[in-house]
Structure 1
Amino acid sequence: MRHELYLFAQLVRKCRNARDLLQGKCVHAQILESGLIHERFLANLLVEMYGKCGSVEESRAVFDGIQEPNLFSWTNMLAVYAQRGDLQKAKEIFGKMPEKDRVAWNAMIQAYARSGCFGKAKEMFDVMSNRNVVSWTTVLAALAQEGNFELAKDMFDRMPRRDSVSCNAMMDACVQSQDFERVREMFFSMLEKDIASWTTILAANAQVGNFSFLLQLFHKMPLHNAVAWTILFLAYAHNGDLCMARRIFSMLPEKSLVEWNALIQAYAQNGHAKTTLELFSFMAMEGIAPNSVTFLTLLAACNHIGLVEIGRWYFLSMIQDHHLVPSHQHFCCMIELLGRSGRLREAEEFAASMPAVEMAMSRSLVGACNLNGESDRGERIARRALECDPENAAPYVMLTSVYSLEDGENFSL
């Protein structure tokens, strides 16, 4: 029986580490068939495995079946709810625990932090008697997430002991607060740097635009993970080096919407409109669903080379096929595309369908009307803008530009 118990334990751990829910359920069924489900050691592992695989209900069902749950049983169940951000269930378990160790307290602090209750997380930390580096790091990260960077830095300075995880959390907080000098100081003062330390310093240099130093750091890294390659790719894309960006992009083990959008934007911003549209087709073939950023880039590309019908198709596809709500920017891009191609009536109709017409868009429309000699339409648009915002000087300037084209005709506002 001991051999069988050990074998099942190994299988459950393997499913937990691989996040393989289907195989985990198969192993669970075998444990039930063997009659070993009453072994608390195995049941505790199953609670943890289901939690790691995201099946909270299954995890709770196994927990409820444990006849005499021990501290590990309670803590595992609490950790499942904490990791999933289910604050109410976490509080319920924490309140029922017959005894609470440091792991339980840390899990409860994490539950408050994940739920956005940063004040409560700090309160629990303040009354906790046996804090460790995990406790300090959890609250430090929570304060940074809240945007309270000064208090996070103060906590880090007061930590009795630090490890690479706490240093990385502080570095990440400094990146968020744009304190890049401190990020650099911390990185070079760290005796032990893990892969997270390296990727954080890469991200900091990417944000500040220090491309040459980013390359130096990348080549000094002991190993490169997917995050490091992605940061390097994004740096090349934002720097306009399309050849290297495309090359690294092809090497990325996983390409999410973030990477696809960055590549598409890089080509669009460097005037390669046709390649931009081709990349979108490749992205669709990979099964990556676009977002509003993708469509804004596509509309800008269509605007650049005057592809009115294709731009209209993208705009409608965004709404009808992908159920995305167009922003003012999408409307403005579409109106500018129509206006620049001389389709002023359609541009005006698009403007009228907007939730609120922006002054910049009105100026663009009036300018298009002036270029195409449609002073009546330009006057109408300018006067509508004046009605919406009579205190703004822009509509008066628009009207002046319209009337100045009419050979000395007098006008009154």
Structure 2
Amino acid sequence: MTFTSLPLGLILFSAFCLIIVIQLGYYLIVFRKLAFYQPKPKTNSQEYPVSIIVCGKNEAENFSIHLPAILLQDYATTHEVIVVNDNSTDETKYLLEGLYKRFKGLKILTLTQDALGIPGKKFPLSMGIKSSKHEVILLTDADCFPASEHWIKMMQEAYTEGIDVVLGYGAYAKKRGVLNKLIRFETFHAALQYLSFALAKMPYMGVGRNLSYKREMFIKNKGFASINHIPGGDDDLFILKIATKKNTAIVIEQQAHTISDPKTTWSEWMRQKRRHYTTSKYYKPKFKLLLGLYAFSNFLVYPLLILSVIYFNWWMALSVYAVRLITLAIIWKKAMRKLNEEDLWSQFLLFDIWMFLYYFIMLPALLRKPEKKW
């Protein structure tokens, strides 16, 4: 009997089983690493001098709300907060000058010209890093604030011997509404992937809302020179370039999170996500395959489940599906607890179904040319 002579229902069910096996492979081999992650006990405490860098363009309102939380961190060791004012035309200049009078640890770097041929925020970020005094660089965005006054201390504690890159979690504020839950879930789902892959010794990205690396790594790799032509990439393509299986650590304790204000409209959020996804086409083939296979298998779960129920055997199809769903529920619950997103778990089935629609919506972003602006 040839493959073409097999009953359609059996072919569909076999394809469904293969997809479930692939999904279980990701959950049981990779994603469980974050779900069951336990930081190694600290045998000694070391505090390094730290340079915190925040870039902003016309972010006066965000700076007024969020910057004091960075300036008031409980960190006794030498540190500086560098704010790069990137050609702002609002009240940023005067706001920062007012904050400087209160906080002498604040260093203001004002840019008055755009860098031709370097779209995005890589140029202001580069200028901030080059002007820094300390080896440990800690990055966040203008619309973010630390979840606690111990953010600096907890992020820098990951720099044990051999560590050059530290990945943190950038959460979104918990608010009412369906959109807020979807934004927070998508953020969790992305973190489940990049943090788990880092624990599996395959780091490929971080998020600029909460990211740290050694200044030496930036200088050694000539900064963002290799990706200057791409609007994004400062927090995924650059990390993909410098992170290795031995030099990368993660910090996921709640007090080390940063929190951002989420988008308030669907169009704004979709535009943001499409912009982020345009950099994925520049990933190394290895990660294109690994991430693509996960997304593709995730996308096919529900179509093949429905077809298997209709054309093959409903109870066998649902039994196979149940194995994946139970595995997913356990991994998500434990990982959500780690990242302080456990309130989302009660709707995990809806989020799982939503991912099918999400991948469908985001598919055009992979084919679209990147926007040439920040």
For Structure 1 versus Structure 2, the TM-score category normalised by the shorter chain is: under 0.3
More RCO (CA 8 Å, sep 6+): 2
TM-score by length of 2: 0.23
TM-score by length of 1: 0.22
User: Which structure features the higher share of helix residues?
Assistant: 1
